[in-house]
Structure 1
């Protein structure tokens, strides 16, 4: 896949992490010469370093200074370009794609046999889709950061996929954001979600390579 980054990559990445921090309840991003560090505070995700324009020197310096398992790297570049810069103990996660969308009101209809619930708390709006028996079917959330929102944790249960629930969640979140005054949406999508987001008007700007540190002796 060709590098689709544009001159706005750093700005868009900053928009993404500002909303992501609200969505996940993490620390505020800490400015670094190469990007940002975020304290997440989970056992397998202690912190993350986000580099919108990674260079070999910066990545190698971070890697050399990392000893804590659960440290993540979010590098906005193709994996084949950055993997040679990390050494043993760094595990490759699924690739991501930085995407944006101009928000507009959306028409939503709940497929027969499902119910939809939504609520907002602490700057985060959530959508939950369930079966009539109350079983989980799909979910997603958005976090407001300034004039934009970040879409996060969109998920559909395996047995309920290809039934329009992902589109329902996204359209509901996009309408909620628009009604709240936001006009731009930002997300980092998975390869599986990229086609859905593109069908809803989202544009890809950059690939993202995601790695975490888990040395072979971790936990021994």
Structure 2
């Protein structure tokens, strides 16, 4: 039992790091602590708020699902098939996620491929990286929210016609190095199945699956 408690505490710690950096990245409100996790006011039409539950308990999830208003999201750190039966039909499953971590260190990204350029800047605690093709079009991008020693990677994307050219890795290395130079030492992210292979190749460690559900807006 003691081992299980330690594992849950470590998972909750990683999830809290992710929440703290994510709210900086997205400009959301400060997380509000709850017995089951954290509630965050997001304030956009498709996501008014989100409830983040690091160790989902069926009774808690059922209560949240029954009382949450439309355009609320649930982020539950458990497999989809475990938590889906706990919510009603008004909840839609989003793409599954994976919580991952990385000890940050100096890791210069190196030059971009021929014909591409990289711009990296920081504002308001958010580091952004933009890769552009020779004609100026967006090729890849991403950002990290800084929260103390933690940097949370967010909104990492590569244009469909620019994939398999190493641009996603270029964005991540650029962000990781900039975050380390800014004082961050712990990297945390929630990646999609499509991004998991990239992050693992860059040394990120998988910590837990995450189910993402949204209550349909009226």
- TM-score range relative to shorter protein: over 0.9
Q: Is the 8 A contact 1:123 1:144 kept in 2?
A: yes
Counterpart position of 1:98 = 99
- Match for 1:153 among 128, 151, 155? 155
Q: Is residue 2:120 matched to residue 1:84?
A: no
As a proportion of its length, which structure holds more helix?
2
Aligned to 2:205: 203
TM-score, normalization: structure 1? 0.94
Cross-structure match for 2:75: 74
What is the root-mean-square deviation in Å for CA atoms of aligned residues?
A: 1.2
- Report what 1:133 is aligned to: 135
The equivalences for 1:208-219 within 5 A come to: 208-214=210-216, 218=218
Aligned to 1:62: 64
For residues 19-65 of structure 1, what are the alpha-carbon distances to aligned partners after superposition, in whole Å with 9 as ceiling and x for unaligned?
00000000000111100100000001110000000011000111111
Q: Which stretches in structure 1 are left out of the alignment for 5+ residues?
A: none
Q: How many pairs does the alignment contain?
A: 211
1:190-211: CA deviation from partner (whole Å, max 9, x where unpaired): 0010110001110010000000
Runs of 4+ in 1 over 2 A off after TM superposition: none
**Aligned counterpart in structure 2 of residue 16 of structure 1, from 5, 9, 18:** 18
What secondary structure does 1:17 align onto? Answer: helix
SS for the counterpart of 1:192 is helix
Q: Aligned to 1:46, what secondary structure does the other structure show?
A: strand
Name the SS for the 1:48 alignment partner.
Answer: strand
Give the whole-Å Cα distance in 2 for the aligned partners of 1:78 and 1:48. Answer: 18
SS in 2 for 1:111: coil
Gaps of 5+ in 2: 1-5
2:118 is aligned, of 113, 116, 119, to: 116
